[in-house]
Structures are given as C-alpha cells and as structure tokens.
A = this chain, B = another copy of it.
Amino acid sequence: MDFALDERTLELREKLLAFMDSHIYPAEQELLGKDVAPGAEWDRPSVMEDLKEEARRRGLWNLFLPGAHGAGLTNLQYASLAEITGHSPGLAPEALNCAAPDTGNMELLAEFGSEAQQRRWLEPLLGGQIRSAFCMTEPEVASSDASNIATRIDRDGDHYVVNGRKWFASGAMSPDCAVLIVMGKTDPGAERHRQQSMIIVPSDTPGVDIKRGMHVFGYTDGAHGGHAEVVFTNVRVPAENLVAGEGDGFAIAQARLGPGRIHHCMRLIGMAERALELMCQRALDRVAFGKPLAEQGVVREWIAESRVRIEQTRLLVLKTAWLMDTVGNKGAHTEIQAIKIATPRMTEWVVDKAIQAHGAGGVSQDLPLAHLWAQGRTLRLADGPDEVHLASLARRELKKYKG
C-alpha cells in the first residue's frame, strides 16, 4: 500500500495548478456576478476559446481519455487532475476539453464507435470544435431503472426512426452542440438489459426539437450547455449511426458510467476544497461580535469537519479509480456506488457551511458558492438517486451472508 502520487501525476498537477492561477481564476473573477445578456445565456463565455488554446499549448488537453485517442493517463492519474478542475467547474473542465457530457461521449465513441463514427464525431470532439449532448433521462418514467425507458428506436429499412421525450439532456442547449447520443429501445420484447440501444443523432436532424432548458435551483447552467428537454418526432438517421449493435445500449451506458462517476466525484471534491478555501479566508477576514470568525468555535468546527470529510471521500474515490484500473469496472462496482453516495453529500455539507460563514453574500451571484452547492445537490439525483444505489449496494453486502 502506498499513498504517494506518481511522478507523471505530480508533474501534471503542477502544470494544471499554474494554469488555474494564471488563466482560470482571473477569467472566473471576470465573469462572476455578471449578468448574461438576454438570449446569450447558452453561449460559451467568449474567453473560452482562448482558455482552450492555452490549455492545449500547455499539454493539458483531453487528459481524461485513456488509450491512444487521449493523454493515456490511468483513471487514478486523471482523478487528481479532475479534482483540480473542480475548483472552477464552470471554466476549467471545458478549457481542458474534459467537460461532461463530452467526456463520456468521447469515451463511448472511442470504445464502441465504428471507424466512421470516430472520424465523423470523435475527432471534432477531441479537437474541441464541436460539443455534444447525452440523452438518457425521461420525464415520465423512473429512468434509474433502464427497463423503463420509453423512447423508441425503430428500424425502418436503412434507417432508424427515433421517437420519444428526454429531459436533462446535458449539453443540448449549447449553440455548439452538433450531436446527440440517444438511449432508446430497439426491442422492448427482449431480455431486460438487451432492449436498449444507443444511437447518434446529429442535432440538425429534422424532428429533433430542443424545447427548453431545464433549471437547476434557478440556474440554467447555460455555459455548460444546460440541461435540455428534447422531443424526438420521427427522427430518421442512417442505420450506421447505431453505436455497436442493437441491444448493446445498456452495457454501453454502464461502461460509460464508471469513469464519469470518478470525474464527477473528483470535481466535487475540488468544489469542496474551493469552498473550504473560501470559508477559511472569510473566517480570517470577517469580524463579528468583536473577533474574527476564525476564533469562533463553531466556525472552527466547520473547517475541521470539512477537512476530515474531504480527506475520507478523496481516498475512497482514488481507491475506486485504482480498482477500475486494476480489476475493471465490474470489480469496482461496490466502490463506484459508494462514491456516488458519499461524495455529493460531502460537498453539499462543506459548501453549505461555507455559505453560512459568508452570510447573505454566500447565496448570491457574487461568490461561486451557491452555484457549487446546486451542482453538488443535483448529483444526489443525477445518474439515479442515492437511494437506488444504496439499495443495490446493500443487496451486494447481504449476498455475502446468504446460504
């Protein structure tokens, strides 16, 4: 057992931290509290192209992607870098071309895409020229149970025809979003986990109606590409747009989940670190009732508790990344669920305390805290509510004791 980071990770961390200081935080400061012009809320901030270029120049590009298509890092190596991007989650991940849902979509195309699909979609995504969306969740059903998916993908000659309604389709509100990856059923009569398929739908295909951006606690998450409600009405795409084969949708979705979970969780840890940093600075600066908050026992407990909770959670996520690298997605199943449960609420707790230490400013647009909180809270729901994961994890634990 060895808890030290390896050379390459340490070196990339150095580089990334320098980039955060020199480019990301100044850009963030520029944008914070700024009102967005009506109609422009789904645009990328104008500084983004510069940030991307600079990150690329510094070798901080596509770090999330293992294998030949990407930087070739292990999950464990990338984890510590993803954490740092979480310090400024609205800017840093995209600047490094490491933002969801593009990361998951690129992984998916790299692993399951045909050569033609990779050329047509993976390459411009890797280059940061286009953005993409992922369409899984549906408003009418409990989507954490994939057998509920109601969207249909029906074969019709050389084409598939997609019909259905999705929401919280991340990325789809962006004007740069060129392609949607859509989960639907090709064979509702098949075995539970072989009914679903995954298909590539260019966003300009007739019948694709991006209706509106869903809000998240009042935030549109515009700069991220938002969370769209999308209606598919007789959307025809060539048959070769199917990813892998009919019935592979569930397996692909599962494969996509593991690394995404690590990324999300490490970014959440980075958000918690950012909130703790802001809380400490506030505690030292703010005087109330005659002494700085930093000398008041309750605030001190928040700070210490935050440190303890962050450390524990980080170790769990790193171990999960290590398991994924060494025994694979399946062997890490329990841990992948455990981090989904443990991380968002840790972040939620730490950010809540940081908000409280800031008073009214903490809930406002002048600090990143309220938005960080909303992201943490939402991840107790995204990819299935915690309760689904708790139930599943318990079943596995109980299995050890069954006859």
Q: Are B139 and A319 in contact (CB under 8 A)?
A: no
Q: Are A308 and B338 in contact (CB under 8 A)?
A: yes
Contacts of A38 in B (CB 8 A): 38-39
A:141-191 near B, CB below 8 Å: 142-145, 148, 167-168
Assess whether A365 is interfacial by the CB under 8 Å rule.
Answer: yes
Given known A-B contacts A294-B398, A342-B308, A398-B284, A301 and B360 have beta carbons under 8 A apart: no
Q: Are A304 and B390 in contact (CB under 8 A)?
A: yes
Among residues of B, the one whose C-beta sits closest to the C-beta of A377 is B363
Assess whether A137 is interfacial by the CB under 8 Å rule.
Answer: yes
Q: Are B338 and A307 in contact (CB under 8 A)?
A: yes
Q: Are B3 and A319 in contact (CB under 8 A)?
A: yes
Secondary structure at the A interface, as helix, strand, loop or mixed, is helix
A:387-403 near B, CB below 8 Å: 387-391, 393-395, 397-398, 400-402
Assess whether A262 is interfacial by the CB under 8 Å rule.
Answer: no
**A76–B125 alpha-carbon span in the complex (Å):** 44
**A6–B345 alpha-carbon span in the complex (Å):** 33
Which listed residue, B39, B312, B397, touches A280 by the CB 8 Å rule?
A: B397
A:356-385 near B, CB below 8 Å: 356, 359-366, 370-371, 373-374, 377-378, 380-382, 385
Assess whether A112 is interfacial by the CB under 8 Å rule.
Answer: no
Q: Are B381 and A359 in contact (CB under 8 A)?
A: yes
Contacts of A26 in B (CB 8 A): none
**A323–B364 alpha-carbon span in the complex (Å):** 35
Contacts of A322 in B (CB 8 A): 1-3
Q: Are A280 and B401 in contact (CB under 8 A)?
A: yes
**A360–B144 alpha-carbon span in the complex (Å):** 11
Q: Are B315 and A334 in contact (CB under 8 A)?
A: no
Among residues of B, the one whose C-beta sits closest to the C-beta of A366 is B214
Assess whether A83 is interfacial by the CB under 8 Å rule.
Answer: no
**A388–B303 alpha-carbon span in the complex (Å):** 13
Q: Are B398 and A381 in contact (CB under 8 A)?
A: no
Nearest Cβ distance between residue A82 and chain B, in whole angstroms? Answer: 15
Contacts of A335 in B (CB 8 A): 311
Given known A-B contacts A287-B142, A356-B380, A301 and B304 have beta carbons under 8 A apart: no
Of the listed stretches A215-223, A232-240, A252-260, chain B binds A215-223
Assess whether A14 is interfacial by the CB under 8 Å rule.
Answer: no
A:277-330 near B, CB below 8 Å: 277, 280-281, 283-284, 286-289, 294, 296-301, 303-305, 307-308, 311-313, 315-316, 318-319, 322-323, 326
Contacts of A364 in B (CB 8 A): 214-216
Contacts of A137 in B (CB 8 A): 360
Q: Are A315 and B319 in contact (CB under 8 A)?
A: yes
Q: Are B304 and A393 in contact (CB under 8 A)?
A: yes
Assess whether A5 is interfacial by the CB under 8 Å rule.
Answer: yes
Contacts of A319 in B (CB 8 A): 3, 311, 315
Q: Are A142 and B315 in contact (CB under 8 A)?
A: no
Query: Which 7 residue pairs across A and B have the least CB separation, nearest first?
Result: A218-B218, A297-B297, A38-B38, A142-B288, A315-B315, A300-B394, A218-B219
